[in-house]
Amino acid sequence: MPRALLSVSDKTGLVELATALVGAGYTLVSTGGTLATIGAAGLPVEPVADVTGFPEILDGRVKTLHPNIHAGLLARDTAEHRSVLSAHGISPFELVVVNLYPFRETVAREGVSLEEAVEQIDIGGPAMIRAAAKTFERVLVVVDPADYGRVAAAVAGGDTGPLRAEFARKAFAHTAAYDAAIVTWLDSAQGEAPGKSLHLTLERAQELRYGENPHQKAALYREGDASGWWDGMTLHKGAELSYLNVFDADAAWRLVHEFFDPACVIVKHANPCGAALADDVTEAYSKAFSCDPRSAFGGIVALNREVGPELADQIMSNVKADVLIAPAYTQDALDRLHKGRKAMRVIQAAAPGRDGFELRRVDGGYLAQTRDRVLGLGANWQVVTRRKPEESEVRDMQIALTVCAYTGSNAIVLVKDGVAWGIGAGQQSRVDAAEIAARKADGRAVGGACASDAFYPFRDGLDAAAAAGAKSVIQPGGSVRDPDVIGAADEHGMAMVFTGRRHFRH
């Protein structure tokens, strides 16, 4: 009679799976809460302590770490191993169902104590998973409740063979991700950011249409057991996503969620070409699109409010967007968005996360850094000119600085009344970036705010901002020529704020 060992933290689908196993003739062996759940369902189940002849001790830290368990998992289907098991009165296991203590979820809770975190470091679970996965030639190991249906079908058919190698691979990936989460937490607890080592376990989440160019293959990977907004998104319409669709959409979605007011961001080639805040999201879209309609063609439109029919009509009447992302759509809006442009992707998604490191490949390794953060008024902002900014100017400076931080360096952004009318991106010269921003603004930012992602090394950049009509400037400061730049701002009657925080983006 085949035996199954079950010990799970997540009880989802447990009773249904146990019922299927009993129906297929399996003897069930279990521990703790898993044992209680199976028993409460009226199913026959044997306690692990009866198999080991030893009670659970040390508050449950030791219960399955015993030869009667691990020999039953690690024995190969050979005459020699069968003889050893027989000599010691040990029966083999043919199936193991284990998922681990919720360590990642525990340490993600605010205020979690060291003791709480340590007690969620599973020892027996990974040991059983790895032992069973090593013996996949005869043992099926199951770590994901989403696979229970396939397991039930396999045991009903009397053959788990087709699943064993696939599930063993999944099991080792599962324990690798678990250990990586523990290392990351220990580094964080010791103030290491980035840590002494980075342990990445990446699971392919989605194959992509192609890479940056059609001849390149690409896929989207998720980090271990983690999840991001891409995992829960709904593609309501459109062709499958490409590498650049994902890359640019992620940039747009992150930027639009920097704002609390109704907002729209339009991104093209990883840089915003339009951004606006307004009283409602329809107005925000109209203004963001007006920033640079030519560059908006084929771009990413990100909105932080529900899309209704009026807004859907506006989007469909303007030049084509490759991707549209919003937190929700009315059914009427979806109906209108489906009437044309078959390739345009319409995505519904939750807000993006803000944790983790940014990684970039270099020869033989990776660059890693913490994410950039744009701090608001009061976070070391220092007015350095004779004139102080008015309240409306402060708001425009904050918007300009936020958009600037999401724009490739060198970057200059001109904002007036909540709209980024001029965005100069990716220039080797800061003056060139200012001139591009001024040309795109075309006089619409006169009286508004200018943001620079780094300090002005000379006053010529400040003079260019004044020529574009900016009345206030926000920049990090820190140049040896700051006095000259401050003097230029005073000459022009501008208000200028130093933040002490650079926002380069490469």
51 neighbors 90 (Cβ within 8 angstroms): no
Cα atoms found within 13 Å of the Cα of residue 89, Cβ hemisphere only: 4
The residues, any chain, with a CB within 8 Å of residue 445's CB and separated by 6 or more, are 414, 415, 416, 421, 422, 438, 468, 469, 470
Choose among 97, 93, 68, 74: nearest CA to 1.
93
DSSP letters, 456-473, are -SSHHHHHHHHHTT-SEE
CA atoms within 13 A of residue 369's CA, in its CB half-sphere? 9
Q: Which of 134, 199, 237, 338 is catalytic?
A: 134
Q: Is 196 one of the annotated active-site residues of the chain?
A: no
Active-site residue identified among 11, 81, 236, 269: 269
Distance, in Å, from the CA atom of 421 to the CA atom of 423, rounded to the nearest integer, reads 7
Q: Which of 258, 295, 302, 254 is nearest to 281 (CA)?
A: 302
Please report, as a single letter, which amino acid is at residue 379: A
Buried b (16+ CB within 10 A) or exposed e, 322-358: bbbbbbebeeebbebbbeebeebbbbbbeeeeeeebe
Provide the token pair at 506.
Answer: 């490469």
Buried b (16+ CB within 10 A) or exposed e, 76-101: eeeeeeeeebeeeebbbbbbbbbbbb
CA distance 65 to 244: 48
DSSP label at residue 261 = S
**CA-closest candidate to residue 370, choices 243, 198, 248:** 198
440 is a catalytic site residue: no
Let me know: does 385 contact 373? Beta carbons within 8 Å. no
CA distance 22 to 321: 54
Cβ(139)–Cβ(160) under 8 Å?
A: no
Catalytic residue ranges: 134, 269
